[in-house]
Amino acid sequence: MKHNRVRPAGAVSIQAVCADGPRLTLQDASSPPHRLHMSPSETPALFTAKVEPGGQQFDAWANQSLLLSAEQGGLNWPSSCRNGTCRTCISQLDRGAVRYEIEWPGLSAEEKAEGYVLPCVAYPCSDLTLRLV
Ligand code: FES
């Protein structure tokens, strides 16, 4: 698979993304969400996302959803509502951390604790591995 690098508009640094507030990891999935404060003059942080099974990879920009980054990277990720309610895009985080900008994405606290994420509303805070479910 081709590994595209597409720089999105509206830049932000990872320090601004993940140092200012809690992020959701497999260890602290019950953490409350926080709002992202972006400065347009900062360069966005870029992470590598890997998809299992298959090992496909795509560039995951800190300032855009994992779903959008996956699509820009050439993946045909299942999606519908694109706002965290339908769960069509649900996957499991095997490695790494994400954050949400909405109060309560369509996941239970138990699902979050088990590493389930909704890529349409999840933003990366690190390199990560997603598992299709
Ligand atoms: S596309 Fe509906 S929850 Fe992600």
Per the prediction, the chain carries an average pLDDT of 79
d(CA 84, CA 124): 15
> What percentage of the chain reaches a pLDDT higher than 70?
69
Under a CB-based contact definition with an 8 Å cutoff, are residues 52 and 131 in contact? yes
pLDDT, greater one: 106 or 41: 106
Spans of all domains in the chain:
14-132
Mean pLDDT of 7-22: 42
pLDDT, greater one: 19 or 98: 98
From the alpha carbon of 85, which atom of ligand 1 is closest? Answer: 3
* Mutation probe of ligand 1 site: the residue of 117, 118, 123 with most atoms within 8 A of C-beta: 118
CA Rg, the chain, in Å?
Answer: 13
Å from CA of 81 to ligand 1 middle = 5
Å from CA of 78 to ligand 1 middle = 8
Å from CA of 41 to ligand 1 middle = 30
Q: Which CATH superfamily is domain 14-132 in?
A: Beta-grasp domain (3.10.20.30)
Per-residue buried b or exposed e for 39-66, using 16+ beta carbons within 10 Å of the residue's own CB: eeebebbbbebbbeeeebbbbbbbbbbb
Under a CB-based contact definition with an 8 Å cutoff, are residues 102 and 35 in contact? no
pLDDT value at residue 80: 97
* 21-72 pLDDT per residue, tens: 444 444 344 444 444 445 556 778 999 999 999 999 999 999 999 999 999 9
